[in-house]
Amino acid sequence: MRHVPSVGTLTRVLVSASFLIALVGVSGCASGRIPFTQHLRDRYGLEEGDLKNLQYYVSGDITLQRGFRREEGEISGTHRLVQKEEGVVEEVFLAAGTPGIATEVGPTSIAVSFEPGRSLTFGSPPGDRDPERKYTLSARRWADDYGELSYDGKTYHAVQGSGHVWLEIRAESLDAVKKKKKVLPGMTLPAE
């Protein structure tokens, strides 16, 4: 005769399995990436050297576009002037999770390079009082979710929600930086 588990036993097994799956999921997140904020920078006392030793990642896709027109004229076989107009779009694309390194550091910004010799700036506006504000893609100006910025010495437009992309770091990276820091206690004069 075969034993059939009771409904209570099945419920306990399902609850235990769900708890185990949730526990594994939470522990997996513990070593994952977290948003880089001004609060983290201040809390850990991260200076330029520290910031240049962290590995950065972008939280989402970034698309930069640059369009321009070119007009040309040529003489046809029938001795007429034929005018040609071309529209060209240059595009720079960074996929979510693309790694980069800090090349320049400002008080509330970091220039991050994703290829040699070129970088994008991410930051938190100095006037923003929210310490949890993420370091998002910076531009000279934003209008209707499109940002105008300079990349590789040319003017591009950040499109398709690129302005909502922020920098991320791995949580364990902060722990490594924190362990390297030595806090000096200071010195006092001996008592007389």
Structure confidence by residue, pLDDT tens digits, 96-148 = 999 999 999 999 999 999 999 999 999 987 777 777 889 999 999 988 888 99
Q: What is the 3-state secondary structure (H, E, C) of 110-169?
A: EEEEEECCEEEEEECCCCCCCCCCECEECCCEEECCEEEEEECCEEEEEECCHHHCEEEE
Which residues, listed in sequence order, are joined to residue 74 by a DSSP beta bridge? 82
Q: How far apart are CA 102 and CA 27, in angstroms?
A: 28
pLDDT at 22 over 60: no
Which range is most confident: 24-28, 50-54, 65-69? 50-54
pTM: 0.67
Q: In whole angstroms, what is the distance from residue 146 CA to residue 156 CA?
A: 10
Say which range, 74-83, 107-116, 154-163, 168-177, has the weakest mean pLDDT. 74-83
The arithmetic mean of pLDDT across residues 80-105, rounded, is 84
Residue whose C-alpha is closest to residue 137's, from 154, 114, 117, 112: 112
If you search the block for the tokens 């950065």, which residue do you land on?
56
pLDDT at 89: 81
Q: How many CA atoms lie within 13 A of 40 on its CB side?
A: 25
